[in-house]
Amino acid sequence: MLRNFCAALAVVSGTAAWGGNLIVVPDDPHPPAPPAVTITDWSGVYAGVGLSYDMMTVEDLSFGTGEFDANGAGLFGFVGYNFQAGRWVFGPELRATASWIEGTDIFMDPFKNEWSAEARGRLGYTVGKTLPFFSAGYIASGFSADHDGGGVNLANDTFSGFTLGVGIDVMLGNNTFLRAEYQHIEYDDDQLVFFGGTDPHDTTASSDRISVGFAKKF
């Protein structure tokens, strides 16, 4: 009996030792891949509307009393197309603004900026649901002035220049997004001419513009 028990114990011990070698599990040579990083898709056509506020500095270089302020709000629409390469987003954009901007000088009573049109490019880098961007482009604006405030001796012309901006788009869902932007605008010196072309006033102007907008990507 004792001999049989010892033999059985030896068999069990040997099996356990052998089995111990079998149950060693090596490290998985193919660990699970980390979760994929989702990049917001900004590509394609978009269009929107917004509100702006301009703080202009204007000067009648010919007969004025120095620089004067012309401030006011605007209502604008914009349309553009985004190309996307990874997180980089870039493309063209067109914008048209109806403005109510006014200021007063001795022979510009009042001065007005009544509209503007822009063609520009944007470059941004998407982070999460946001798209911080820079913008640069061409702007044309309609300036007018009343020489003496009587509504008779009027002048108007289109002034052109360049615009530089920085802003951010925030995706809301359903391909809609909000925009906030700051722009600096520099106009080329030009003339507002009164009295049927006989009284030119050399004029210079610049503007700082803040705006907010809402848009949809198609």
Could you read off the pLDDT tens digit of each residue along the chain, which spans 218 residues?
445 544 444 444 444 444 445 555 566 667 676 776 789 999 999 999 999 999 999 999 999 999 999 999 999 999 999 999 999 999 999 999 999 999 999 999 999 999 999 999 999 999 999 999 999 999 999 999 999 999 999 999 999 999 999 999 999 989 999 999 999 999 999 999 999 999 999 999 999 999 999 999 99
Q: Domain with 75 in it: what CATH number?
A: 2.40.160.20
Task: Indicate whether 71 belongs to any domain.
Answer: yes
Task: Indicate whether 97 belongs to any domain.
Answer: yes
Predicted local confidence at residue 14, as pLDDT: 47
pTM: 0.83
Strand pairing partners for 161? 139, 187
What type of residue sits at position 98? A
Q: Which residue has the tokens 């090596």?
A: 26
- What's the structural domain count of the chain? 1
Q: Which DSSP string corresponds to 96-160?
A: EEEEEEEEEETTEEEEEEEEEEEEEEEEEE-BTTEEEEEEEEEEEEEEEEESSSSSSSEEEEEEE
- Print the domain residue range for 87: 44-217
The token pair at 215 is 């848009």
Query: Please, what is the end-to-end C-alpha distance for the chain in angstroms?
Result: 88
Task: Indicate whether 27 belongs to any domain.
Answer: no
Predicted local confidence at residue 48, as pLDDT: 98
The C-alpha atoms of residue 88 and residue 82 are separated, in whole angstroms, by 10
Predicted local confidence at residue 37, as pLDDT: 74
Closest CA relative to residue 95, chosen from 114, 74, 113, 80: 80
Contact between residue 82 and residue 42 where contact means Cβ atoms under 8 Å apart: yes
